[in-house]
Every structure is written in C-alpha cells, then in structure tokens.
C-alpha cells in the first residue's frame, strides 16, 4: 500500500465570544506578532484594537501577493472574515511559511478548515493544495447573526456534495481514478445532516448554525484526508466557476453551487427535484433569475464548465454542449 499522509487542523475551537478576545487567545496559542487579513467590514467590527492587518477587497492572486508582501516579522497570519480573507490568509501562510489561523465570521463556504487555497484572476479560478489552517476558531455568537444570504450560501456549498461525490465515483468507474470510500462517506453524511437540520439552519438557531459549521469544517477535513478538493467539488462547482469566469469576477460561491447542484443532479439522472426543494426550504436561489444571471449566460456557463478544469465529471461523460445545457436548464426550470 502506498504511504499516505493526512493533513488536519491541530485544533478546532468553538467558543461563544472568542472573537472579542481574539488577541488574547492568539497570544495564548503562543504567537506574539499576528497579522490579520480582513476586509472593510471585519476590520471595522472584529479586528482587535491596535492589531497589524492587511485589508483585501477581493480574493485575487494579486491581492494575495500584496498581503504576503505586508508580512514583516509576523509569526502567524489570521484570516478573519468570509471566504476571501481566509483564502488570502492561507496564501500568505504558504508564501511566507508561517502558521495560519482561520476565524470565520460567516458560515458561507467549506474553505474554513480546508487545505485548499481558492483565489481567482479576473474570475478565472485558481486552486492549489496547501495544508489546513493550524487553528480554526469558531464564534457561534457571531455566526448566528450572519446575514441570511451567507447562511444560504453555506447550505448550498454542502448541498453540492450530493453531486460532487457522485462525480468522483463516475471518475472512478470511467477513468479508473482512486475513490476513497471513507472520505466519500463523510462528505455524503454532511449533506444528509444539513438536510435534516435545514429548518433550524434557515431560522439561524444555534443548533442549526452549529450543524452547518460542523458540515463545512468536516468537508475541509475530507479534503485534508484526500489531499484534494475532489470529494467536495464536482460539476456543480465547475458550473459556479464558469459563472464567475463569464462575469469576470467571483459571485456568491455557495448559492451558485446550489443551483449548479440542481443541474448536475439532473445530468446524473438523480433526484434533482429533491435538491431544489431543499434549497427552496432555506430560501436559497433555484433559478438563473434569482442568481441575477441572464439566461444565455447561464446556458453558456453550463456548456463551458467542463473546459475549466481537468477533472472528470458527468459534464464530461455527457459531453455537455450548449444545446444539451439549454435543454437541461429548461427541464429543471433554472431558466
């Protein structure tokens, strides 16, 4: 058997109020000189007073490079905020070889504890394996107050595991690539779990948000086990990447993934109506219009999705083109 290594965060802490004592807690972890990656909102609301920081408007490699250049004697980088801040923090950690602390203030994506760095350049996806953040600090008091759209996005990112795991299995059947049963089972479980708790998630109760956060963190761990985003990212993610690419910048990742999951499930010959119902139950978008995407762009996105990345999915098996894409989008009433 091949020697395998599994990358995991060394500690995941869930503690109400932890963000208000962040500087102290980071000090307790043994760090003396942190630099925080923030955006305008998290800088104003959550940044510890007097802390060194770098504010990023967008998760592009250009800003990530600038953030890495701002490191000057800092012994840890703290990604404080949503997906982009955490991704940029991981990039900084990789580039400057310092530990990373992930402090999500939004339950909107599964990059929180994942080993992947996801950035973009003019909407073109850039994804690279790094390693998971050393520490993940979760403050339920902040997360339950996240705006609804970010909660829906997090739910959509987890719903995507319905089709991503299946695409992985197709890759195994059709191309002989390795399929890890254990990580596939974990990813599938997160899907079932958020579905069961979807009403609590939509109401943003502590229980609901905890389940959603556990699902998001678990998918990061799945990627660490697999040393790849393969279990967590299939055709539904390719469709979301294609929407970003055609627009020239990143949209709301998880809600695009949610709509992508409806289409991907349809192509896979599976229960796409159930997927749509789950998304509707939390108030997430289920049509191109609700995403704010014109119909022709939606068709184009589904048609070009398989060209964006060398990763086998149902879109490759069916050789989806514009005509096939349009028929599927009409059949699922996405357009």
Q: Which residues are at the interface with Zn ion (CB under 5 A)?
A: 157
* Token digits of residue 63: 């800003």
Least distance (Å) from Zn ion to the CB of residue 109? 6
Q: What six digits make up the tokens of 325?
A: 């894409």
Shortest distance, CB of residue 268 to Zn ion, whole angstroms?
18
- Least distance in angstroms from the C-beta of 257 to Zn ion: 5
Q: In the complex with Zn ion, which residue's Cβ is closer, 109 or 198?
A: 109
- Cβ proximity to Zn ion: between 25 and 312 the closer is 312
CA angle 155, 136, 225 (to 5 degrees): 75
Dist. CA 170–CA 235, nearest whole Å: 11
CB of 164 to Zn ion, least distance (A): 9
User: Which helix (H) or strand (E) element contains residue 119?
Assistant: strand 116-121
Q: Report how far residue 110's alpha carbon sits from residue 218's, in angstroms, rounded to the nearest whole number.
A: 8
Instruction: Report the candidate in 271, 269, 261 with the shortest Cα–Cα distance to residue 302.
Output: 261
Q: Counting every residue, how long is the chain? A: 335
Indicate the residue among 76 and 201 with the shorter CB distance to Zn ion: 201
Helices vs strands, H then E, count in the chain? 17, 8
| Residue 87 or 157 with smaller CB distance to Zn ion | 157
Nearer to Zn ion by Cβ, of 16 and 251: the residue is 251
Q: To the nearest whole angstrom, how small is the minimum distance from the Cβ of residue 295 to Zn ion?
A: 24
In this structure, what token pair is assigned to residue 237? 């993610």
């Amino acid at each position: 058997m091949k020697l395998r290594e599994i990358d995991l965060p060394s500690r995941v802490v869930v503690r109400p109020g932890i963000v208000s004592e962040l500087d102290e807690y980071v000090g307790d972890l043994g760090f003396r000189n942190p630099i925080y990656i923030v955006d305008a909102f998290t800088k104003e609301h959550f940044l510890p007073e007097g802390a060194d920081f770098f504010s990023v408007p967008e998760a592009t490699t250009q800003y990530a490079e600038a953030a890495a250049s701002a490191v000057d004697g800092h012994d840890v980088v703290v990604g404080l905020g949503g997906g982009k801040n955490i991704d940029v923090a991981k990039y900084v950690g990789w580039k400057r070889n310092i530990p990373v602390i992930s402090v999500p203030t939004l339950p909107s994506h599964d990059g929180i504890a994942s080993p992947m760095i996801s950035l973009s350049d003019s909407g073109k996806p850039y994804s690279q394996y790094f390693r998971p953040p050393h520490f993940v600090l979760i403050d339920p008091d902040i997360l339950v107050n996240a705006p609804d759209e970010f909660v829906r996005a997090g739910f959509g990112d987890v719903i995507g595991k319905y089709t991503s795991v299946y695409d992985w299995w197709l890759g195994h059947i059709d191309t002989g690539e390795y399929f890890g049963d254990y990580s596939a089972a974990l990813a599938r479980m997160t899907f079932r779990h958020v579905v069961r708790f979807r009403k609590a998630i939509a109401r943003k109760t502590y229980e609901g948000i905890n389940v959603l956060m556990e699902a998001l963190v678990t998918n990061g761990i799945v990627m660490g086990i697999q040393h790849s985003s393969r279990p967590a990212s299939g055709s539904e993610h390719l469709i979301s990447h294609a929407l970003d690419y055609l627009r020239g910048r990143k949209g709301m990742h998880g809600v695009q993934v949610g709509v992508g999951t409806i289409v991907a499930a349809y192509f896979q010959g599976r229960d796409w109506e159930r997927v749509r119902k789950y998304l509707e139950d939390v108030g997430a978008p289920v049509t191109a219009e609700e995403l704010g995407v014109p119909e022709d762009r939606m068709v184009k996105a589904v048609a070009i999705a398989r060209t964006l990345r060398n990763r086998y999915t149902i879109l490759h098996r069916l050789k989806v083109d514009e005509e096939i894409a349009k028929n599927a989008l009409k059949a699922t009433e996405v357009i």
